[in-house]
Amino acid sequence: MANLHFHYGVMNSSKSAALIMNAYNMSRSGNVVEVIKPSFDKRYSVQEIVSRIGLTWNASAMPNLDTYVPRMATKVIFVDEVQFFAPSDIDKLVQIADSQGKIVMCYGLMVDSNEQMFPASKRLVEVGAKLHRMDSNCQMNGCMKLATHHLRFNKDGKVVHAGEQFELGDVNYKSVCRRHYYSLYNMQDKER
């Protein structure tokens, strides 16, 4: 079994729910697990991962992984919202997976709302993490195509093309198929 995994998908593809279910199943089988999330993710709880369907799991909130050392007994490390960590944090996870034989399961977004890979996600691909795409369908009314992109909207409902990409939550976002992404992203009255 590979010891470094990246479970990625668009928003609303049940990444956090899958992490929680996998952590539950692993721990129920007698494996010691650790769950990590970025410390600035305080949407629902500072020390928990919370899925939109109501599942929760305790987590260690960390600004980075510079000083992180897993417990000796830990078998599996789960990382939520991995895209918000730095590439150097991914290198730390690689070192842990390779030198300590721990299984590292990362969950997060691959690309931002401008089709740019998040640096940590890019690093996971570069270091050869086993990739697991988590599917969801387009959130545009009546569309059942595979959601592959995110659109970010301002308060007036216009697509946003620039600015900070480290915004938590999905209130201003929709996960959409490629056709809806390009048609809405390229509209003439776009917000810059």
Question: Global pTM?
Answer: 0.89
Does pLDDT of 165 surpass 70?
no
Q: 30 exposed, middle or buried (CB, 10 Å; 0-12, 13-18, 19+)?
A: exposed
Report pLDDT for 51. 85
SS3 for 84-110 is HCCHHHHHHHHHHHHHHCCEEEEEECC
Is residue 145 a part of any domain in this protein? no
Q: Return d(Cα 93, Cα 100) in angstroms, integer.
A: 10
Asked if residue 40 belongs to a domain, the reply is: yes
Supply the range of the domain harboring residue 110: 4-134
Q: How many domains does the chain have?
A: 1
CA distance 146 to 16: 19
47-61, 136-150, 163-177: the lowest-pLDDT one: 163-177
The answer to whether residue 12 scores a pLDDT higher than 70 is yes
List the CATH number of the domain containing 56.
3.40.50.300
Structural tokens at position 83: 């895209």
In contact, 149 and 116? CB cutoff 8 Å: no
